[in-house]
Amino acid sequence: MSVERLFANFDKYLPLDDIEKADVSKRVIVRNIRRRQFILQEDEECKHYTFVAEGCFKVYHVDKKGVEHNLQFAAENDWIMIIDSFYNKRRSNVHIEAIEPSLIYQLSRPDLIYLFRTYPKFDRNFRVIVETRLAELEQRLLQVISSTAEERYLAFLDQYPALSLRLPNTQIASYLGITPEFLSKIRKEMVGK
Amino acid sequence: MSVERLFANFDKYLPLDDIEKADVSKRVIVRNIRRRQFILQEDEECKHYTFVAEGCFKVYHVDKKGVEHNLQFAAENDWIMIIDSFYNKRRSNVHIEAIEPSLIYQLSRPDLIYLFRTYPKFDRNFRVIVETRLAELEQRLLQVISSTAEERYLAFLDQYPALSLRLPNTQIASYLGITPEFLSKIRKEMVGK
DNA sequence: CGCGACGTTGATTTGCCTCAACGATTGTGG
DNA sequence: CCACAATCGTTGAGGCAAATCAACGTCGCG
């Protein structure tokens, strides 16, 4: 059973001992996901925490006009969780879709709660995982609210240099909250600089 | 020592026993804050988790043009934490300022870490507190990205009816990411409906 | 009382969108 | 392995949501 990538992720916080590893291995769901495959759709409830071992996903909302708005990209070693839907069993308002062929590990709500109850270490580790995501979101909200499109694009290139090579500009534009056409114009402007 | 409001907050998760209460009481900082007083400024590092027992605060960023952008309001029973600054000891990029006379309880980073190490219960409780904040932020980012100003205003009235009465429209406009003038125009439109 | 914060209105400007069109690339089924 | 479709990046003309700037009346507070 090869969930080593997942264990390695916990090593950054409180490493798991053999008993915990065995228990996690028994519960975790390993899945290969094709490009364009969904692991969550907008009318479903989010039943898993997802750890991305390989590949890349986008989390996005579709507004009433049918336009996609990317909220998050998740690549190797990132976690994806839609907190409200997951804990409150509400239908999600986002899709999660693979941008590349991917390998993921998932934990269901009952299994995660079991782990929280059985080993306090998981409260600690997931506290830190959630804090990390929270810090990202604080940063992102601040940028969306107080920067121009060009500043946001530069910040994105700076913050996610690897992703900016892997992703088509269409997807980046959607993340920045602008149209692909306008991103193209920004890029044209920048060449002169 | 009257940190009952704080203990009552923990009661929603895992309630504290007498030993834990005594230990928290010894460490928590109780402060009365005047209207317009800052508990954090943009060039400082955020050294405390803050629990609001009474009153109301705004968390905001000032852009290079000098315009304020409200990221969060925090009233009774809300927590304020600037995760990145708090854990990574970086200078914050936001101000935290009292909108009303307030009573707060604060925990310093060393004391919080002591509590995490000593009583696993605090990992659990703060995991949930952070998750709650994360769910709010997910929701807020989605709205900022995919709704018009009017839709965001209606959603705000719906989601925070109490706050919308307590706050001047100037502050609400800043939270919505629009100018006070434009909010005024939206409100004028709405009367007809 | 006087000053500063607040809410409102109107005229003008602008950042970004919409729509339409086009070539280049990718990918996919026959 | 080719042919056709879909996706992608780009450009241009025109439009709209929201910003900017300016002005004015009201109110609460020191």
Residue pLDDT, tens place only, A10-26 = 999 999 999 999 999 99
| Token reading at B79 | 């927590």
* pLDDT of amino acid B1: 55
In chain B, what residues touch A154 (CB-CB under 8 Å)? none
Interface contact A144-B147, CB threshold 8 A: no
Cβ-nearest to A145 among B123, B137, B144? B144
With CA atoms as reference, the chain A residue closest to B129 would be: A127
pLDDT above 70 (res A192)? no
Residue A28 near residue A22, CB atoms below 8 Å: no
* pLDDT of amino acid A1: 56
Cα–Cα dist A172/A176, whole Å: 6
Best A82, A129, A136, A146 residue to mutate vs chain B (most B CBs within 10 Å): A146
Contacts of B36 (CB under 8 A, 6+ apart): B97, B98
In this prediction, residue A191 has a pLDDT band, given cuts at 50, 70 and 90, of confident
Residue B171: its H or E element: helix B169-176
In this prediction, residue B192 has a pLDDT band, given cuts at 50, 70 and 90, of low
* pLDDT of amino acid B95: 96
Give me the amino acid identity at B123: D
pLDDT above 80 (res B90)? yes
pLDDT above 60 (res A139)? yes
pLDDT above 70 (res B187)? yes
The pTM of the full predicted model, rounded to 2 decimals, is 0.94
Where does B4-120 sit in CATH, by number?
2.60.120.10
In this prediction, residue B98 has a pLDDT band, given cuts at 50, 70 and 90, of very high
In this prediction, residue A178 has a pLDDT band, given cuts at 50, 70 and 90, of very high
Indicate the domain borders of chain B. 4-120
pLDDT above 80 (res B191)? no
Q: C1' nearest to CA of B176: which nucleotide?
A: D18
Q: What is the pLDDT of residues A79-112, one digit of tens each?
A: 999 999 999 999 999 999 999 999 999 999 999 9
With CA atoms as reference, the chain A residue closest to B92 would be: A139
pLDDT above 90 (res A65)? no
Dihedral angle sign, alpha carbons of residues A136, A139, A143, A146: positive
Q: What is the pLDDT of residues B41-72, one digit of tens each?
A: 999 999 999 999 999 999 999 998 889 999 99
Length of chain A as a residue count: 193
**What distance in Å separates residue A70's CA from the closest CA in chain B?**
9
**If you average pLDDT over residues A50-64, what whole number do you get?**
94
Cα–Cα dist B42/B39, whole Å: 10
pLDDT above 60 (res A193)? no
* pLDDT of amino acid A14: 95
Interface contact A137-B142, CB threshold 8 A: no
Name which of A117-131, A179-193, B84-98 the model is least confident about: A179-193
CATH superfamily, domain A4-119, is Jelly Rolls (2.60.120.10)
Q: C1' nearest to CA of B151: which nucleotide?
A: D17
* pLDDT of amino acid A57: 96
Best A117, A121, A131 residue to mutate vs chain B (most B CBs within 10 Å): A131
Closest CA to A22 of A5, A1, A8: A1
* pLDDT of amino acid A2: 76
Interface contact A116-B135, CB threshold 8 A: no
Q: Which residues touch strand D (CB under 7 A)?
A: A 168-171, 180-181, 183-185, 187-188; B 65, 67, 148-150, 177-179, 181-182
SS3 B50: strand
Residue A5 near residue A53, CB atoms below 8 Å: yes
SS3 B58: strand
Interface contact A146-B94, CB threshold 8 A: no
Cβ-nearest to B84 among A82, A138, A141? A138
**Residue–nucleotide distance: B180 CA to C6 C1' (Å):** 10
**If you average pLDDT over residues A125-133, what whole number do you get?**
97
